[in-house]
Amino acid sequence: QSVLTQPPSASGTPGQRATIPCSGSNSNIGNNPVNWYLQLPGTAPKLLIYMNSERPSGVPDRFSGSKSGTSASLAISGLQSEDEADYYCAAWDDSLKGWVFGGGTRVTVL
């Protein structure tokens, strides 16, 4: 049972927009910034979004993040086949004194 809650799967057709929600609490998302990570099969996670909505250099602007209260979301616009991967949200938890992750969402491009 993950501290942050994500749906296990999401899908869309090429060109569509997909949105992945991440729900937490006041001790994590409500009080700390959210990061999003992408993980392709058999590879290490890669930072996609940091500080709720900032993109590291090299990440396409098709990826965007937002946060409101104790929830965050990742949006992928103009879905492409190479976006098929697992996506994880994460935030520091003040009560647990550590980072917590969502269970991950597998995105499928139909």
Partner 1 sequence: EVQLVESGGGLVKPGGSLRLSCLASGFTFSAYAMSWVRQAPGKGLEWISAISGSGDVTYYSESVKGRFTVSRDNSDSTLFLQTAGLRAEDTAIYYCAKVLGGYVGMDSWGQGTLVTVSS
The residue ranges that bind partner 1 (CB under 8 A) are 2, 32-33, 35, 37, 39, 43-47, 50-51, 56, 86, 88, 90-92, 96-104
Q: What is the DSSP letter of 103?
A: -
β-strands 85-93, 98-101 pairing: antiparallel
Taking the least distance from each CB to partner 1, the nearer of 47 and 75 is: 47
DSSP for 6-49, please give it.
--SEEEE-TT--EEEEEE--TTTTTTS-EEEEEE-TTS--EEEE
Tell me the closest approach of the beta carbon of residue 27 to partner 1, in angstroms. Answer: 12
Tell me the closest approach of the beta carbon of residue 15 to partner 1, in angstroms. Answer: 28
Hey, is 70 helix, strand or coil?
coil
Q: Are 29 and 70 in contact (CB under 8 A)?
A: yes
Taking the least distance from each CB to partner 1, the nearer of 19 and 101 is: 101
Tell me the closest approach of the beta carbon of residue 61 to partner 1, in angstroms. Answer: 19
Tell me the closest approach of the beta carbon of residue 96 to partner 1, in angstroms. Answer: 8
Taking the least distance from each CB to partner 1, the nearer of 79 and 89 is: 89
